[in-house]
Amino acid sequence: MIAALVAIGAPVLAAFTAIGRLTRFAITALTRMLQPPWYPAQLAQQMLVIGWLSLPVVGLTAIFTGSALAQQIFIGGSRFNAASTVPAVTVIGVVRELGPVLGGLMVAGRVASAMAAELGTMRVTEQIDALVTLRTDPFRWLVGPRILAAVLVMPFLVLVSNALGVMGGWLLATQRLGFNSAQYLATTQRYLEVDDVMSSLVKAGVFGFFIALMGCYHGYHSGGGAAGVGRATTNAVVSSFILILLSNLIITVIVFGS
């Protein structure tokens, strides 16, 4: 009986400890970001690394998925004589869900892992300790610029992702499914709502926050040499994926559920 309780209790306790540690890390990062010194050069560099260098993956993902989506809607819609819904459903699906979620996941795969590996290496080679002895707060120098850069840049990436996703659908529909280009674009425009775009930008900011937070958190607390850094990288990617999907569900239910 006791053994069973212990068996259940230990992982539950561990989970709460981990959540507490993560929350404290996030609060520390956010409060330190509000106080100087700030490091604008670090911020600019992170914006470049996260934003510019993620454009190819995010763009390709969006085009491929937007096209595939249009094809599936066409097949499904044809059964109900509703093949003409392709432009409307594509734009809603891309802007509300696929653009932000797939963009977020791709950026998470690229960026959360890279951040965890970089900070983890800095931890195990004592570079983070060295920062501290050189009067520099790792939260302001490393963590803050990464989180802020991700939150600022993700909405732009998601805008690109939305636009290219819709374009992918349009390309496939006009090239393969025989849609008229002008009509397709006009329908797309009619069904493109400001609220949908806003919600996708909010999602993007939230995803950016989680991506950088998980990358930094796991890297910062990494230990145990190269294997430890490897674990930190995996954990950063997996946990940011889960947080993206979970927060996406919550935002979707709040915004569109009522």
Partner 1 sequence: MTPRIELSGVSKRFGSRQVLDGLSVSVMPGESLVIIGGSGTGKSVSLKCILGLIPIDAGSIKVDGQEVAGLKGAALDAHRTRFGMLFQGGALFDSLPVWRNISFALPGRAADRRAAAIDNLARVGLGAEVADLRPAELSGGMQKRVALARAIAVRPPIIFFDEPTTGLDPITAAVINKLIRTLVTDLKITALAITHDMASVRLIADRVAMLHAGKIIWHGPLASLDGCENPYVRQFIHGSTEGPIQMPGVRQ
User: Where along the sequence are the contacts to partner 1 (CB under 8 A)?
Assistant: 118, 121-122, 125-127, 129-137
Which residue number, 131 or 197, has a Cβ lying nearer to partner 1?
131
Which residue number, 36 or 178, has a Cβ lying nearer to partner 1?
36
Which residue number, 6 or 132, has a Cβ lying nearer to partner 1?
132
- For residue 68, give the H/E element and its range: helix 55-78
Residue 42 CB, shortest distance to partner 1, in Å, is: 10
Structure tokens at 153: 């840049």
Which residue number, 66 or 138, has a Cβ lying nearer to partner 1?
138
Structure tokens at 250: 């919550």
Residue 126 CB, shortest distance to partner 1, in Å, is: 4
What lies within 8 Å, CB to CB, of 137 at 6+ separation is 32, 131
Residue 141 CB, shortest distance to partner 1, in Å, is: 10
Residue 210 to residue 243: CA distance in whole angstroms: 7
Residue 231 CB, shortest distance to partner 1, in Å, is: 18
Task: Calculate the CA dihedral of residues 159, 160, 166, 168 and round it to 10 degrees.
Answer: -160
Residue 257 CB: number of other CB atoms within 10 A? 9
Question: Among residues 200, 199, 206, which one has the least CA distance to residue 165?
Answer: 200
Residue 46 CB, shortest distance to partner 1, in Å, is: 11
Which residue number, 49 or 102, has a Cβ lying nearer to partner 1?
49
| Contact criterion met (CB below 8 Å) for 57 and 156 | no
Which residue number, 37 or 257, has a Cβ lying nearer to partner 1?
37
- Residue with the two structure tokens 């008229």: 180
Inter-helix orientation angle 40-50/144-175, to 10°: 30
Residue 121 CB, shortest distance to partner 1, in Å, is: 8
